[in-house]
C-alpha cells in the first residue's frame, strides 16, 4: 500500500488527555510549529556547546569553532601565553658560560708625575669609554679652577693669578680633585683619586677613559654554569651592576 505525503494543510485529529477525550483537528503545519518550539531550547543548548547549526550547510561548523578557539589560545588575549612565559621563566635552563663582571673605565692624568690622578667612571661598563678629560690653562685674571662638561667631555681649566698666569698655589692635584668630584655634572660621570705624591697640575690634551667592560645581564633568578660552578643572579644584573653569586662544584 502506497502512502501519500502529508501536506501542511492536511488536518489531523487529536485528543487531549485533560480535554474530556473530545477530538480536535489541527493542520500538519500547526503541529510542526508546536514540535519546533519544543525542540528549540534543546537545539540552542546544543549549538552553544558544539557550534551553530546551519541546515543549508553540507558540513558541521565545529571545525571552524575549534580553529577560532586555537587562534584565541595563541594570542595574549586569553592570558595563556603570559602564563606559559611565566612558567618558562621558572623552569628555565641554565646558560653555559660564567658571567662577566662589569669593569669601570679609567684614565690617568699626570702619569708618573707627583700630581698623578686616576679617574674612574662612576657607572661601570663600556659606556665609560666615551668619557673624555682635558686639563687646560684658565683664561682671565684671578680665575678659579673651573669645571665644564659638554655631554661626556669634561674640561678642567686651571686657576690663574692676578696677571693671568697659572696660579701654582691654587692648582694642586688635591684642589683639582676637590673641584671636579664636587661638580654635579662632571662628578656624575667620573670620580678621581690622587695616585701620586701630590703637586701642581699641568695641562693635558683631551683623552678618553678606557678599559670599561660590560657585565653579563641577568634577570633575578637567572642561571649560568661552567666547568667549575653554577652562577645565580640573586637580583637583576645589568651591564653596569652584577648580582651574580657562585656555587663551586665538588671535584
**Helical spans, DSSP H, in the chain:** 28-50, 62-73, 80-90, 173-182, 184-189
| Cβ count within 10 A of residue 238 | 16
Between 133 and 197, where is the model more confident?
A: 133
Share of the chain above pLDDT 70, in %: 74
Q: Which residue shows C-alpha cell 665538588? A: 250
- Residues 130-147 pLDDT 10s: 999 999 999 999 999 999
Q: Is 215 left (phi over 0), alpha (psi -120 to 50) or beta?
A: beta
pTM over 0.85: no
Q: Quick one: pLDDT at residue 10?
A: 74
Residue among 179, 138, 140, 147 at smallest CA distance from 162: 140
3-state SS, residue 62: helix
**pLDDT of residue 11 exceeding 60:** yes
Judge whether residue 152 has pLDDT over 60.
yes
Each residue of 38-59: pLDDT tens digit?
556 666 665 666 555 565 665 5
Give the pLDDT score at 155: 98
Q: Give the model's pLDDT for residue 24.
A: 76
DSSP one-letter string for 103-137? B--EEEESTTSTT-EEEEESS-SGGGGG-EEEEE-
- The reported pLDDT for the residue numbered 168 is 94
Model confidence at 192, pLDDT cuts 50, 70, 90, reads: very high
pLDDT tens digits, one per residue of 67-94 = 776 666 665 555 666 666 665 665 567 8
At residue 44, the pLDDT reads: 66
Q: Which pLDDT score is estimated for 57?
A: 61
Among 202, 190, 211, residue whose Cα is nearest residue 109: 202
Q: Which string of b and e fits 188-223 if b means at least 16 CB within 10 Å?
A: ebbbbebebeebbbeebeeeebeebbbbbbbeeebe
Q: What is the pLDDT of residue 63?
A: 67
Cell numbers at 187, concatenated: 662628578
Q: Tell me the HSE value of 57 on the side-chain side, using a 13 A CA sphere.
A: 10
Average pLDDT of span 138-164 = 96
Amino acid at each position: 500500500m502506497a502512502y501519500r505525503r502529508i501536506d501542511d494543510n492536511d488536518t489531523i485529529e487529536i485528543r487531549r488527555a485533560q480535554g474530556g477525550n473530545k477530538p480536535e483537528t489541527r493542520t500538519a503545519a500547526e503541529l510542526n510549529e508546536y514540535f519546533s518550539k519544543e525542540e528549540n531550547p534543546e537545539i540552542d543548548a546544543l549549538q552553544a556547546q558544539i557550534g551553530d547549526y546551519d541546515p543549508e550547510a553540507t558540513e558541521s561548523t565545529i571545525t571552524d569553532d575549534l580553529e577560532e578557539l586555537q587562534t584565541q589560545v595563541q594570542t595574549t588575549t586569553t592570558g595563556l601565553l603570559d602564563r606559559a612565559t611565566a612558567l618558562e621563566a621558572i623552569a628555565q635552563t641554565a646558560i653555559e658560560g660564567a658571567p662577566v663582571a662589569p669593569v669601570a673605565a679609567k684614565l690617568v692624568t699626570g702619569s708618573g708625575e707627583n700630581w698623578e690622578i686616576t679617574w674612574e667612571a662612576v657607572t661601570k661598563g663600556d659606556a665609560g669609554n666615551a668619557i673624555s678629560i682635558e686639563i687646560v690653562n684658565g683664561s682671565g685674571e684671578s680665575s678659579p679652577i673651573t669645571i665644564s662638561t659638554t655631554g661626556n667631555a669634561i674640561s678642567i681649566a686651571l686657576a690663574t693669578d692676578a696677571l693671568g698666569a697659572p696660579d701654582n698655589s691654587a692648582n694642586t692635584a688635591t684642589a683639582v680633585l676637590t673641584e671636579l668630584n664636587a661638580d654635579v655634572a662632571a662628578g656624575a660621570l667620573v670620580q678621581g683619586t690622587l695616585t701620586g705624591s701630590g703637586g701642581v697640575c699641568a695641562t693635558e690634551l683631551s683623552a678618553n677613559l678606557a678599559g670599561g667592560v660590560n657585565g653579563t645581564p641577568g634577570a633575578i633568578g637567572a642561571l649560568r654554569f661552567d666547568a667549575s660552578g653554577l652562577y645565580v643572579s640573586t637580583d637583576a644584573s645589568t651591564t653596569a651592576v652584577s648580582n651574580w653569586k657562585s656555587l663551586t662544584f665538588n671535584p
